[in-house]
Structure 1
Amino acid sequence: MHTFRRFSSQLCVRYPRRLVKSPLGVNRCMSSTEKPSDLLIHSSKIPKGILGQPTCHTHPHLIPNGQLTCGITQQEYKERRDSLLSKLLEESEHIHKSHILVIPAACKQFMSDKIPYVFRQNSDFFYLTGCLEPSAILVMVKLALDASYKTILFVHEKDSHAELWEGPRTGCSLAASLFGADEARPVENFNNYIHRIVSSTKPSVVWYQNESPANPEIHESVRSALRTGHVSLEEPQKYLHQMRVVKSPAEVELMKEACYIGSQSVNLAMACTKPGISEHAVSAILEYSSRMSGAEHAAFPPVVAGGARATHIHYVANNQILNPEDMLLVDSGSQRWLYNSDISRTWPVSGKFSKHHRILYELVLAVQKRLIELLSEHRPPLDHLFDHMCRLLGMHLQQEGILPRNIDNNELIGKAYRLCPHHVSHYLGLDVHDAPLVRRRVPVRTGMIVTVEPGIYIRPDDESVPPEFRGVGIRIEDDVLITDGEPLILTDACVREVDDIEAIVGKQSI
């Protein structure tokens, strides 16, 4: 049984890597084996000075000494680049060619004239570099006759006028040492460089995401360089996503933190839920709690849906008042150093499940528990897990008399699918729907983190079910790490049993 011990947003993670509160109340990463004296050891790899992103020198409350980003070292980013290039070189048709890999950072997006959205780095670029600066470009060049490859990072050069408005930049003089690249060049030089390197290394293969490019500003430069002849174009993303879908130990620790923060934010939202509160207020509690506990921001716009609004799966208006008889469905997540949690819970606004709401909720919970057991027993592909969900939902709904008993198995599965039309699982990591080029038909394996999220959505006008069950949406979603043994539920701190939910809903004042 979960015990909800505190409603404070200042949380400490009970996992091997924990959040450590600084005197200012800001949380940072610290490994379970780290000693206070370790923080004083000088790191020769991370340059000092005010750079374009936090470092262990400027933000010791966020990043331990010697790490490039929270929890991850320069060496791990380099090993990822090594591993990616090794995978690309395994392609037999390109074995005697030179290889040029181009991975752009995201560029700034604007909500209106001169007003930017909060910048979010391109996940593939961040995974290989740890760089958080916009419009940068990673280039890796492996010449056909060379045993090694060269890493060039294109970044914005230092510019006092631009930095006056936008904040500090790392600049070329320090970018190579900060990110472990062989050299750094100004982004303005990329066009000339890509044309020169492509034309001088024929035959060659350029690895570049041609579809939906991360930075449209450089897209034509790459495309025009490809027109010089004796150059082929290949997409690197499928190889990257095969790497990203299996998490390193450092990534697992970051995911544990994001999941714990997200879990406690949902617990606090439950505790603050009372009749008459607005969905918007619950959404604000989720964000406040997450950010005060170390998340940069929400992983996605949350769903906070009371009553029948929960039957709209992507309801994000969050602008209604919650009534005593409503069930409240919340789907939210926290992002910490670009790693995401994704949690769904459903609870009664009044703090007490009605008879029929409890039947539906415990039905969904039983299905979810069985699906997690199946991940342990058989390691099925996620598509097979979805098939199991439809069968289990149909069987339980039939047993409760919500679906008719005189229908065959195929019709039963079809009716269950109609009541839960979304997939039951997706990969989770740097993106909420992580590594999308890894198909959900491959068996899960150790190091993957997946969601398990069965649901039931019964619209008010659905005459195929008894009226007492209509107008309610229920989803229970947890984030699960596949291990060599039992799966580890990373969001286990978020209460989900009926008694635990009823014990905390409405117990905290806003």
Structure 2
Amino acid sequence: MSDTAAPQTDTTASAQTSQELDASPERQPSPATDAPQPRATVNRSTTPASSAFAEYIGSGWADRDEKIPAPRPAVVSAAAHRAAISQRHPGERLIVPAGRLKQRSNDTDYPFRAHSAFTQLTGWGSDSEPGSVLVLEPTAAGHDAALYFRERAGRDSDEFYANPEIGEFWIGPRPSLAQVAGDLALSTRHIAELQEVLDAVDESTLIVREADEVLTAQLDALRLVQLDDHDADASAEDADAVLARDLSELRLTKNEWEVGELRAAIAATARGFDDIVRELPRIGDHERGERIIEGVFNARARLDGNAVGYDTIAASGPHACILHWTRNNGPVDPGDLVLIDAGVEVDSLFTADITRTLPVSGTFSEPQRLVYEAVREAADAAFAVVRPGIRFREVHTTAMEVIARRVAEWGMLPVSAEEALQADQQQHRRYMVHGTSHHLGLDVHDCAQARREFYIDGVVEAGMTFTIEPGLYFQPDDLTVPEEFRGIGVRIEDDILVTEDGAENLSIAIPRTADDVEAWLARERV
């Protein structure tokens, strides 16, 4: 059945419960396809083990809700991505895992987040099941897609009440094969049947390697055995890298639905910034005020989305000069600036990435305003050049021209701005060592495995979404900087959509000029 045919569940898997599959004496467990057993809790377990208890807890339940949902809006975008990757890899079997739970400590795990390539091709976002695997099996017409995951066990199974990692008594309801098939418009199969795919591994089988290390290791071992070629391992890794590269490059431009998800993430992020501004007066009362900022924003991310798209940076005073300050354990003192770099990840897993720098007392000092407006000038200049047909690197180059000119005017450079801008000079980069832009989407640094000629050296196209985020960071102990500037760090970051004839600043509604920021703080404090 082709990928565009009506979705259906695999009848063999749906006819058996996961208990029957797991209990079958003929079937040997596979470490790559079966969910791992719970980490040892036997020394503190009080779960009854009697047959009377098992019989009693497995009976007397109301029928489950077996309603099959209508396909979610993401399925059209996911199908388009599958069709595109199918065209790039004819005749090759493609394995795209969601990934597994990652241990935080002992028997606790980090919240699960599926690999972006898996979500890209399935549309399964914040509600995806750990250990799931998408397989695109080559056919004469392209590829057939099948989604393998561990279906919920029956209530007559001890998994239901005794498995704290996947049991519904512990983590809540889990979907059936049929429900996921309807929801994602994909054929679905029990994870146990993935072994049949692995048994058929040949030189045409590719995998997204970083998504599931255990499954990748098993696949590599099977390649060595089945292909009987010890050079196959390196060549297979190269071929796998091409798959990851192609999936990244397919995300360089976004479709209408994907742009809509980014708009939703940005709108939620804007509400999070409003929440922070309203809390600024009390934030200064705590010795870890940065933590309060982080917590306030995280609350909004959980209310309006799935989570934060990355660790929030809440950097006050000289901490703002540390580019990825995520300890967030410092005070937020009156008179300082606080740099907040944060983004909400919505349930589709698309994330915003926005930075605003706020005066804690409500108004900028003269040096703070001077630095702030220089950064905004650089951001505005970069935005002004964005349109289809330019090279992506021109965005950064344009912002750097402003940065070099301003720090030269302030007497910080040993050479002129023009000299500093030469490729073999670059002294102005002391005060802004990072780049101005990166692509944005399912990952905060999206499309990271795309080739350089399609990324930094690539031609900008309509539908691309990326950041513009110049900054200036004057370390408190930097003797090349006039004293009144030391300890000031400013970044302004916006999320940009390239249109057919220019660009749209998707985050323009969040105040960004110095005057508008001051008015924003005054308004929210009333």
The TM-score with structure 2 as length reference comes to: 0.76
Of 319, 330, 336, which aligns to 1:309? Answer: 319
Q: Does the aligned pair in 1 maintain the 2:467–2:495 contact within 8 Å?
A: yes
- Write the mapping of 1:251-400 to structure 2, written as runs, cut at 5 A: 251-274=258-281, 275-276=284-285, 278-292=289-303, 294-337=304-347, 338-376=349-387, 379-381=390-392, 383-400=393-410
Higher fraction of strand: 1
Which residue in the other structure is 1:198 paired with?
201
Which residue in the other structure is 1:108 paired with?
101
SS for the counterpart of 1:301 is coil
| Alpha-carbon separation, structure 1, partners of 2:403 and 2:76 | 46
| Alpha-carbon separation, structure 2, partners of 1:395 and 1:342 | 27
Q: Does the aligned pair in 2 maintain the 1:271–1:504 contact within 8 Å?
A: no
Give the C-alpha shift of residue 67 in structure 1. Answer: 4.1
Of 130, 141, 165, which aligns to 1:147? Answer: 141
Q: Does the aligned pair in 2 maintain the 1:45–1:66 contact within 8 Å?
A: no
Which residue in the other structure is 1:37 paired with?
none
| Alpha-carbon separation, structure 2, partners of 1:267 and 1:157 | 41
| Alpha-carbon separation, structure 1, partners of 2:467 and 2:8 | 35
Residues 103-156 of structure 1: CA deviation (Å, up to 9, x unaligned) = 11111112112212111111100111123111011111114xx22432222110
| Alpha-carbon separation, structure 1, partners of 2:417 and 2:198 | 63
Q: Does the aligned pair in 1 maintain the 2:420–2:426 contact within 8 Å?
A: yes
1:77 counterpart = 2:72? no
**Structure 1 residues 193, 332: closer, same or farther in 2, change over 3 A?**
same
Which residue in the other structure is 1:158 paired with?
152
Q: Does the aligned pair in 2 maintain the 1:454–1:477 contact within 8 Å?
A: yes
User: Number of residue pairs matched?
Assistant: 429
| Alpha-carbon separation, structure 1, partners of 2:507 and 2:8 | 33
Q: Does the aligned pair in 1 maintain the 2:96–2:208 contact within 8 Å?
A: yes
Which residue in the other structure is 1:479 paired with?
495
Which residue in the other structure is 1:238 paired with?
245
Which residue in the other structure is 1:502 paired with?
518
Higher fraction of helix: 2
Which residue in the other structure is 1:171 paired with?
176
| Alpha-carbon separation, structure 1, partners of 2:441 and 2:470 | 20
Give the C-alpha shift of residue 79 in structure 1. Answer: 2.5
Give the C-alpha shift of residue 509 in structure 1. Answer: 6.0
1:216 counterpart = 2:219? no
SS for the counterpart of 1:505 is helix
**Structure 1 residues 407, 434: closer, same or farther in 2, change over 3 A?**
closer
| Alpha-carbon separation, structure 1, partners of 2:396 and 2:468 | 9
What amino acid is aligned across from residue 457 of structure 1 in structure 2? Y
Which residue in the other structure is 1:444 paired with?
460
Q: Does the aligned pair in 2 maintain the 1:403–1:465 contact within 8 Å?
A: no
Q: Does the aligned pair in 2 maintain the 1:308–1:460 contact within 8 Å?
A: yes
| Alpha-carbon separation, structure 2, partners of 1:283 and 1:76 | 33
| Alpha-carbon separation, structure 1, partners of 2:366 and 2:213 | 55
Give the C-alpha shift of residue 422 in structure 1. Answer: 0.8
Give the C-alpha shift of residue 80 in structure 1. Answer: 1.9
The TM-score with structure 1 as length reference comes to: 0.78
| Alpha-carbon separation, structure 1, partners of 2:264 and 2:421 | 42
Of 183, 186, 193, which aligns to 1:181? Answer: 186
Give the C-alpha shift of residue 336 in structure 1. Answer: 0.5
**Which deviates further from its counterpart, 310-319 or 421-430?**
310-319
SS for the counterpart of 1:433 is coil
What amino acid is aligned across from residue 481 of structure 1 in structure 2? L
| Alpha-carbon separation, structure 2, partners of 1:221 and 1:66 | 36
| Alpha-carbon separation, structure 2, partners of 1:353 and 1:77 | 46
SS for the counterpart of 1:339 is coil
SS for the counterpart of 2:201 is helix
Give the C-alpha shift of residue 101 in structure 1. Answer: 0.7
Give the C-alpha shift of residue 503 in structure 1. Answer: 1.3
Which residue in the other structure is 1:40 paired with?
none
1:414 counterpart = 2:426? yes
Which residue in the other structure is 2:32 paired with?
none
Give the C-alpha shift of residue 431 in structure 1. Answer: 0.4
Which residue in the other structure is 2:206 paired with?
207
Residues 327-383 of structure 1: CA deviation (Å, up to 9, x unaligned) = 1111111101201000111111111111111110000000100000111386321x3
| Alpha-carbon separation, structure 2, partners of 1:198 and 1:289 | 45
Give the C-alpha shift of residue 450 in structure 1. Answer: 0.3
Q: Does the aligned pair in 1 maintain the 2:77–2:255 contact within 8 Å?
A: no
What amino acid is aligned across from residue 137 of structure 2 in structure 1? V
Q: Does the aligned pair in 2 maintain the 1:88–1:239 contact within 8 Å?
A: no
What amino acid is aligned across from residue 168 of structure 2 in structure 1? E
Give the C-alpha shift of residue 406 in structure 1. Answer: 5.1
Q: Does the aligned pair in 2 maintain the 1:272–1:506 contact within 8 Å?
A: no
| Alpha-carbon separation, structure 1, partners of 2:330 and 2:518 | 23
Residues 454-491 of structure 1: CA deviation (Å, up to 9, x unaligned) = 00110111111211111111000000001112311111
Residues 371-423 of structure 1: CA deviation (Å, up to 9, x unaligned) = 00111386321x33223322220112223444466576137862221100111
SS for the counterpart of 2:446 is coil
**Structure 1 residues 299, 75: closer, same or farther in 2, change over 3 A?**
closer
Residues 36-78 of structure 1: CA deviation (Å, up to 9, x unaligned) = xxxxxxxx9899xxxxxxxxxx9x9xxxx8442xx42x33322
Q: Does the aligned pair in 2 maintain the 1:368–1:476 contact within 8 Å?
A: yes
| Alpha-carbon separation, structure 2, partners of 1:75 and 1:369 | 35
| Alpha-carbon separation, structure 2, partners of 1:389 and 1:77 | 35
| Alpha-carbon separation, structure 2, partners of 1:198 and 1:378 | 42
Q: Does the aligned pair in 1 maintain the 2:315–2:339 contact within 8 Å?
A: yes
| Alpha-carbon separation, structure 2, partners of 1:158 and 1:311 | 49
What amino acid is aligned across from residue 137 of structure 1 in structure 2? V
Which residue in the other structure is 1:137 paired with?
133
Q: Does the aligned pair in 1 maintain the 2:511–2:520 contact within 8 Å?
A: no
**Structure 1 residues 220, 319: closer, same or farther in 2, change over 3 A?**
closer
Q: Does the aligned pair in 2 maintain the 1:459–1:470 contact within 8 Å?
A: yes
Give me the CA root mean square deviation.
Answer: 2.6
**Structure 1 residues 267, 409: closer, same or farther in 2, change over 3 A?**
farther
- Which structure 2 residue ranges, 5 or more long, are not aligned? 1-5, 10-64, 161-166
Q: How many percent identity over aligned positions? A: 26
| Alpha-carbon separation, structure 2, partners of 1:205 and 1:371 | 44
| Alpha-carbon separation, structure 2, partners of 1:240 and 1:377 | 22
Q: Does the aligned pair in 1 maintain the 2:99–2:212 contact within 8 Å?
A: yes
